[in-house]
């Protein structure tokens, strides 16, 4: 028998199976189906909108439960029917337990009012407990069946074969556009999390999820199904829409069920394709940004999550129906329960799966889905603890109690169940737990972490000699261009300052007049006036010397030999520059360094490593080692070089800001510390300024335990202790 409900122990006793009398509920519906070429039956619980798939033998046995026939008599009748329909007693027992626990059949004991009330209360309590997980809550919002029935005729063509062919063509065109502009696409992806885009991303997300679920609902209704419920699943308080499509299990054709499951992704891929075509046809701006966001959310996110068969989303139902294993997930989890009972608790139980290709795949799927579920749960807990600070820690603790604490309590109850095996199970579980703890301790302490501490870097000149205007003036002549090699003292530019030249000429005239006056006073033997005029002359000569120096400095010369480095040097021709303004810089090709951008969490590790050797990989395949010279103690939102901003194709997330002059500039989203790595002269000659690279160290130098401890130490003081104190106050 196959069922979406795992078959396990129940907390009420039933009499000997052969003497048991069961009666099915009268409102159950049984519909014949074919799965993987085998006849089976679909059981529909109309009252609860639940569906189960059972085999032909199970159906023939269940159909005899009329409230008068015992299970033993039913099994005898089943064995007498033509064909191989015999079931062993353990299988019949499991079927009876499942029927009673699912409340699709009752015994004289289980049908009394108190028993049914207690079962209902337990079921509601479990449902509420799961629904109020703070990291993942299900919130029903509407019952849209009537509305969906009205709009389905309007949109049915969109889900026809002809529309699908058109959609496939549009998707191919969109993929061609993106591949053809892959460099721009990759550069744009680095700025997707800029805060200024968050509002529009949120709005796009809500619209996409609404359209996605509407696609499911319309196709389901198109084939005769009903949509009884719609709502939102809040994951970290972010809404994920859902619709109840359980009625699609009634569809005889698995292709109709697959079409229903694919409808949401189909609609989103349509939207992503149109957005890709618009993105490729527009320049940078609002429309281009929105189109890119739609590509990422409707295309990439849909393929990574909705199409992922390890999660019980669209991809899972497509896979299970395509393989003809309708209860793939539950069968895989039952196999994991068997592994736990067999190898951890030491129980002598039989595997629910055989060694057929179908069951081997189910085993592998069960293990993979369980591992993926753990990864998602751990990721959600970490994200909650970091996103919401102190409150996030409390949410994470509550989620851990629900995801881990509740199953542990159930496990403890099962282990201590009084059936004569409780001592064996307890000792076995204690031994396995102790051995697991010892192995974990050995791994954490003895296995070295293969990861490295790394940071992005860029090649820069060191030292960089700047060409500055020591006198203000207009740039009248430029004698070099960026990238040109120059010699020390070579003329770079000529400034013009007519006022400065006029002041020089006035001083020259004043000096000539003072010389004449001094001669007149000397000839007249007016020594007192003569001495005063000579003082005035010396003062004028000093001013002239200073002014002449300023005029001479209007000719800007290279302070050292090297290569001219200047952005848009030609645009400065004819502009007015203030005293001290930088026009260009001169870099020595034989003297370069790496400037690295260090994040806050990595700061301590890098400062501890000052003076030590680090590994360097520069774009172009250059790999070498050098010394970490220094790390500035102050963080800044300015990147070591503009090419490192994500908006300009670099690796660091950035955003656009307006400078004081009104020009557009960029800054990092989070402050970074700047470190310096020296480069040997032989290597400097082969590297270009602006080449980006990565600096790393620490590979296989820390144990796994040390890495985890350091990560916790970086997170807990700021996110737990201080925030919990604030919450307490």
Tokens 């480095």 belong to residue = 565
105-106, strands of its sheet edge to edge: 66-70, 21-24, 105-106
Which residues have a Cβ under 8 Å from the Cβ of 97 and sit 6 or more positions away? 7, 8, 9, 10, 14
d(CA 681, CA 689): 14
Which pLDDT belongs to residue 173?
95
Task: Name, of 33-47, 82-96, 367-381, 399-413, the range with top average pLDDT.
Answer: 367-381
**Contacts of 678-683 spanning 24+ positions with Cβ under 8 A:** 678/593, 678/626, 678/627, 678/629, 679/459, 679/592, 679/593, 679/594, 679/626, 680/626, 681/590, 681/591, 683/622, 683/624, 683/626
Question: Which residues in 237-264 are b (16+ Cβ under 10 Å) and which e?
Answer: eebbbbbbbbbbbbbeebebbbbbbbbb
* Predicted confidence (pLDDT) at residue 727 exceeds the cutoff of 80: no
Please return the burial class of 284, using the count of CB atoms within 10 Å of its CB with bins 0-12, 13-18 and 19+: exposed
| Domain chopping of the chain, boundaries | 17-129, 134-326, 453-461+588-701, 466-583
Q: Which residues pair with 627 in a beta bridge?
A: 613
Name the 3-class secondary structure at 474: strand
Across 147-161, 182-196, 218-232, 301-315, least confident range: 182-196
Using a 10 angstrom Cβ sphere, with 0-12 exposed, 13-18 middle and 19 or more buried, the burial of residue 389 is middle
Whole-structure pTM value: 0.63
Token pair for 177: 């556009």
Residue 126 has pLDDT above 60, yes or no: no
The 10s digit of each residue's pLDDT in 141-150 is 888 989 999 9
Q: Which residue has the higher pLDDT, 50 or 291?
A: 291
**CATH-assigned architecture of domain 453-461+588-701:** Beta Barrel (2.40)
pLDDT of 508 higher than 60: yes
Q: For residue 533, count other CB atoms closer than 10 A to its CB.
A: 21
pLDDT interval class at 108 (50, 70, 90):
low
Nearest to 92 by CA among 63, 68, 69, 62: 62
Give pLDDT, residue 112.
47
Confidence of residue 4 (pLDDT cuts 50, 70, 90): very low
Q: What is the DSSP string of 594-663?
A: EEEEE-GGGHHHHHHTTTSEEEEEETTTEEEEEEEEEE-SS-BSS-SSGGGBGGGT-SB-EEEEE-TTS-
Query: Helices 498-523 & 527-552, crossing angle to 10 degrees?
Result: 160
Residue 518 banded pLDDT, cuts 50, 70, 90: confident
- Does 68 have pLDDT greater than 70? yes
Tell me: pLDDT of 593 over 60: yes
Geometric angle at alpha carbon 237, from 231 and 242, rounded to 5°: 20
For residues 7-18, give the mean pLDDT: 45
| Band (392; pLDDT cuts 50, 70, 90) | low
Three state DSSP letters for 653-678: CEEEEECCCCCEEEEECCCEEEEEEE
Mapped onto helix, strand or coil, the DSSP state of residue 35 is strand
Q: Binning pLDDT at 50, 70 and 90, where does residue 711 land?
A: low
Q: Give me the pLDDT at residue 278, please.
A: 94
pLDDT at residue 162, rounded to an integer: 93
Checking if the pLDDT of 124 tops 70, the result is no
Identify which has the larger pLDDT, 715 or 415: 415
pLDDT band at 723 (very low <50, low <70, confident <90, very high): very low
Provide the terminal-to-terminal Cα distance of the chain, rounded to the nearest Å. Answer: 57
More confident site: 404 or 171: 171
DSSP string, 320-350: HHHHT-TTHHHHHHHHHHHHIIIIIS-----
Cα–chain-centroid distance for residue 168? 28
Laid out side by side, the sheet with 485-486 consists of: 464-468, 582-587, 562-565, 485-486
Q: How confident is the model at residue 262 (pLDDT cuts 50, 70, 90)?
A: very high
Q: Which residue has the higher pLDDT, 420 or 632?
A: 632
Buried b / exposed e along 88-104 (16+ C-beta atoms within 10 A): eeebbbbbbbbbbbbbb
Rounded-to-integer distance, Cα 29 and Cα 42, Å: 8
Assigned fold of 17-129: Outer Surface Protein A; domain 3 (3.90.930)
Digit-coded pLDDT (tens) for 459-483 = 988 878 888 888 888 988 898 888 8
Give 358's pLDDT tier (boundaries 50, 70, 90).
confident
pLDDT digits (tens, 9 = 90+) for 607-664: 988 998 898 888 877 888 889 999 999 998 888 888 888 877 788 888 777 766 566 6
Q: What percent of the chain has pLDDT over 90?
A: 15
- Structure confidence at residue 1 (pLDDT): 38
What average pLDDT is seen over the chain? 81
Q: Indicate the length of the chain as a whole number.
A: 729
Structure confidence at residue 385 (pLDDT): 65
What pLDDT score does 663 carry? 64
pLDDT given for residue 220 in this prediction: 93
Which two tokens mark 304?
């990574």
- Looking at residue 163, its pLDDT comes to 93
**704 contacts 475 by C-beta, under 8 angstroms:** no
Q: How many whole angstroms separate alpha carbon 12 and alpha carbon 110?
A: 9
Mean pLDDT of 342-362: 84
> Is pLDDT at 384 greater than 70 in this prediction?
no
pLDDT surpasses 90 at 266:
yes
Q: What is the pLDDT of residue 716?
A: 53
pLDDT, tens only, 45-63: 877 767 778 888 888 888 8
| Nearest to 120, CA basis, from 103, 133, 134, 137 | 103
pLDDT more than 70, % of the chain: 84
User: In angstroms, rounded to a whole number, what is the distance separating the alpha carbons of residues 432 and 673?
Assistant: 47
């Amino acid at each position: 028998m196959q069922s979406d409900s795992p078959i396990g122990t129940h907390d009420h006793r039933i009499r000997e199976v052969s003497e048991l009398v069961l009666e099915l509920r009268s409102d159950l519906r049984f519909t014949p189906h074919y799965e993987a070429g085998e006849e089976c039956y679909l059981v529909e619980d109309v009252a609860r909108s639940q569906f189960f798939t059972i085999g032909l033998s199970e159906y023939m046995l269940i159909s005899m439960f009329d409230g008068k026939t015992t299970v033993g008599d039913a099994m005898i009748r089943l064995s007498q029917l033509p064909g191989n329909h015999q079931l062993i007693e353990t299988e019949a027992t499991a079927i009876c337990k499942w029927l009673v626990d699912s409340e699709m059949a009752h015994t004289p004991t289980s049908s009394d009012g108190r028993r049914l009330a207690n079962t209902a209360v337990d079921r509601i309590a479990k449902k509420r407990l799961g629904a109020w997980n703070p990291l993942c809550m299900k919130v029903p919002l509407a019952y849209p069946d009537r509305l969906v029935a009205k709009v389905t005729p309007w949109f049915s063509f969109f889900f026809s074969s002809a529309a699908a062919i058109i959609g496939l063509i549009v998707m191919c065109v969109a993929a061609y556009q993106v591949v053809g502009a892959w460099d721009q696409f990759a550069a744009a992806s680095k700025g997707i999390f800029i805060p200024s885009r968050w509002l529009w991303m949120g709005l796009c997300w809500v619209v996409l999820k609404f359209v996605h679920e509407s696609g499911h609902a319309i196709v389901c209704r198109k084939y005769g199904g009903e949509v009884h419920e719609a709502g939102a699943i809040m994951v970290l308080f972010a809404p994920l829409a859902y619709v109840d499509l359980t009625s699609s299990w009634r569809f005889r054709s698995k292709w109709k069920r697959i079409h229903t499951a694919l409808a949401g992704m189909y609609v989103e891929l349509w939207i992503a394709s149109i957005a890709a075509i618009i993105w490729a046809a527009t320049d940078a701006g609002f429309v281009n940004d929105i189109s890119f966001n739609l590509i990422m959310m409707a295309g990439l996110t849909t393929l990574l999550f909705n199409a992922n068969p390890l999660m019980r989303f669209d991809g899972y139902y497509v896979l299970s129906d395509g393989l003809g294993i309708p209860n793939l997930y539950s069968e895989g989890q039952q196999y994991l329960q068997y592994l736990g009972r067999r190898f951890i608790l030491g129980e002598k139980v039989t595997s629910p799966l055989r060694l057929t290709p179908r069951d081997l795949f189910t085993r592998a799927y069960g293990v993979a889905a369980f591992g993926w579920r753990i990864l998602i749960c751990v990721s959600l807990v970490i994200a909650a603890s970091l996103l919401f600070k102190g409150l996030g820690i409390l949410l994470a603790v509550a989620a851990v109690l629900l995801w881990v604490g509740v199953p542990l309590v159930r496990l403890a109850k099962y282990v201590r169940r009084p059936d004569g095996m409780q001592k064996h199970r307890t000792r076995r579980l204690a031994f396995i737990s102790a051995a697991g703890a010892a192995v974990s301790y050995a791994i954490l302490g003895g296995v070295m972490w293969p990861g490295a501490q790394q940071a992005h870097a860029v090649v820069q000149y060191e030292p960089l000699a700047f060409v500055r205007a020591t006198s203000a003036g207009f740039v009248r002549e430029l004698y070099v261009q960026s990238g040109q090699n120059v010699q020390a003292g070579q003329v770079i530019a000529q400034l013009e300052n007519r006022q400065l030249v006029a002041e020089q000429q006035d001083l020259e005239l004043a000096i000539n007049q003072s010389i004449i006056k001094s001669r007149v006073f000397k000839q007249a033997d007016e020594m007192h006036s003569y001495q005063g005029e000579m003082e005035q002359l010396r003062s004028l000569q000093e001013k002239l010397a200073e002014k002449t120096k300023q005029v001479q400095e209007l000719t800007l010369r290279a302070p050292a030999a090297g290569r001219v480095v200047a952005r848009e040097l030609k645009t400065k021709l004819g502009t007015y520059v203030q005293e001290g303004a930088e026009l260009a810089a001169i870099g020595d090709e034989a003297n370069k360094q790496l400037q690295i951008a260090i994040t806050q969490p990595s700061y301590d590790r890098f400062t501890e490593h000052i003076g030590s050797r680090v590994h360097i990989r520069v774009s172009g395949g250059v790999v070498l080692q050098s010394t970490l010279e220094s790390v500035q103690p102050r963080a800044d939102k300015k990147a070591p070089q503009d090419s490192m901003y994500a908006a300009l194709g670099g690796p660091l997330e950035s955003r656009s800001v307006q400078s004081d002059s009104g020009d557009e500039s960029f800054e990092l989203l989070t402050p970074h510390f700047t470190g310096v790595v020296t480069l040997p002269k032989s290597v400097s000659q082969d590297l270009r300024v602006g080449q980006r690279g990565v600096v790393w160290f620490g590979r296989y130098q820390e144990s796994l335990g040390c890495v985890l401890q350091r990560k916790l130490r970086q997170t807990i003081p700021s996110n737990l202790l201080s925030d919990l104190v604030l919450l307490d106050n």
